[in-house]
Amino acid sequence: MKQVVLGTRGTSGVPEFAGSTWVRLQYLLGLTKLGIECFWVDRLAAIDPFAHPHTLDYLTERFHRTARQFGFEDRYCIVYNGGEKHFGLSEASLKNLTESAGLLLNISGHLPDSSPLMRIPRRAYVDVDPGFTHIWAMQMDMGLARHNFFFTIGQNVGTPHFKIPLNGVNWQAICPPVALDHWPARIDAQCRRIGTVGDWRGSQHAIYEGEYYGSKRREYIELLHLPKSSGVSPELALCIGTEDWEDLGLLHASRWKVLNPVLYAGDPESYRSFIQHSRAEFSVAKSGYVKSNSGWISDRTACYLASGKPALVQSTGCEWKFPDQKGFLTFRNLEEAIAGLKAIDHDYIGHCDAARRLAVHHFDASRILGQMLAHVAL
């Protein structure tokens, strides 16, 4: 059986960011279905018990619970503080793994020269932040040179439509994979929630040619009057800081519903439940994805589509991927957003059926990961 290592940085340190956990899980579950023995190796920086909200014991136990739930409890390793400790696989077992594995899929994580994962001959960087990644790579060492294959979920990266230089890196565009067995269709016209899971400011920020590429905040502000204009109050399981109390008040006053993301979607199971019991997704995109015209497609949106939930999301230039405008709709301004909500309501079940078909055709992890393995000749 072939062995693949899924490499990440810090995922175990933020267990309440369940959407981020699911991004990685989709690869592991998809590869497992293909008959690949996939191991998850997460690199976790030192935890300061006086600054971090969780202890190291809590973080490692919670990751183990997730591994047990999804059947990979004997196929993970948390490398703590540069190798000071190992959780899951032992240091010796990890060394043996890196000498036998055929491929590393590094999900947007800086890979230092000292990492044991450097022993794996085929190393692929998987970019989930198109636009940001490419700006950062011009301004700092992202470790890209330590890889020999490059994948991105930016559908326009590598085309004339993408606004950021690639500096000679040959990026291959992929759709974010979804393990469809774990995301069955759940079409139910009684579902009422239209919204999404996300963050207000996020951690992705960049300056390129004097312009700021940043978060979702400004994009939501541009749509502030959507509830009053459309009669729809989107429900946002939103990570928003206490310092943004004025913004939070503005959202509430404008009839947006802001939910506690830890309560509603703070672990893989509740995150999936939040999506599968929604009526549709409504979401903006980070301004960096929009401004760079990256063609970014959200892994979260892919989960909505797989669940048979229509998605109405801000355009990042990916419309050409879904030309029939059924199940997956985009908008560039308030008027288009209102029109999209009306279109979904007019033929709701039709959009639900189309959403699931799109997921099967475009986001099936087995097909996407099979193509990736073929590309790297594994």
User: What single string gives the DSSP state of each residue in 62-131?
Assistant: HHHHHHHHTT-TTSEEEEEGGGTEEEES-HHHHHHHHHH-SEEEEES----TT-GGGGSS-EEEEESSTT
Which pLDDT score, from 0 to 100, does residue 246 have?
95
CATH of the domain at 210: 3.40.50.2000
Please provide the average confidence, as pLDDT, over all residues in the chain: 96
Question: Do residues 59 and 13 make contact, with C-beta atoms less than 8 angstroms apart?
Answer: yes
Helices (H) and strands (E) in the chain, counts: 14, 16
Q: How far is CA 64 from CA 70, 73, 89, 321, in A?
A: 10, 6, 11, 37
CATH of the domain at 165: 3.40.50
Same domain, 218 and 118: no
Token pair in block for residue 62: 């919670």
Same domain, 41 and 59: yes
Same domain, 290 and 142: no
- Cα distance between residue 212 and residue 291, in whole Å: 9
- Cα distance between residue 8 and residue 15, in whole Å: 13
Predicted confidence (pLDDT) at residue 378 exceeds the cutoff of 80: no
- Cα distance between residue 304 and residue 351, in whole Å: 12
Same domain, 149 and 66: yes
Which pLDDT score, from 0 to 100, does residue 36 have?
96
Same domain, 287 and 353: yes
Q: Which helix (H) or strand (E) holds 256?
A: none
Which pLDDT score, from 0 to 100, does residue 323 have?
82
Kindly give the pairing relationship between strand 194-199 and strand 235-239: parallel
The single residue listed with the structure tokens 């994580």 is 109
264 secondary structure, DSSP code: H
What count of other Cβ atoms lies within 10 Å of the Cβ of residue 173? 21
Q: pLDDT tens-digit profile of 12-39?
A: 999 999 999 999 999 999 999 999 999 9
Domains in the chain: how many in total? Answer: 2
Torsion (CA) 259, 262, 267, 270 in degrees, nearest 10: -30
Q: Which helix (H) or strand (E) holds 177?
A: none
Structural domain including 66 reads: 3-178+365-375
Same domain, 188 and 111: no
Mean pLDDT for the stretch of residues 46-64? 94
- Cα distance between residue 91 and residue 94, in whole Å: 5
Share of the chain above pLDDT 70, in %: 100
pLDDT confidence tier of residue 1, bands split at 50, 70 and 90:
low
Q: What is the DSSP track for 314-362? A: E-SS-GGGSTT-SSEEEESSHHHHHHHHHHHHHTHHHHHHHHHHHHHHH
Same domain, 101 and 157: yes
Predicted confidence (pLDDT) at residue 193 exceeds the cutoff of 70: yes
Same domain, 222 and 370: no
Same domain, 283 and 303: yes
Q: pLDDT tens-digit profile of 270-326?
A: 999 999 999 999 999 999 999 999 999 999 999 999 999 999 999 999 999 988 779
Which pLDDT score, from 0 to 100, does residue 367 have?
97
Q: CB under 8 Å to 262, separation ≥6 — which residues?
A: 16
Same domain, 98 and 161: yes
Same domain, 198 and 281: yes
Same domain, 95 and 192: no
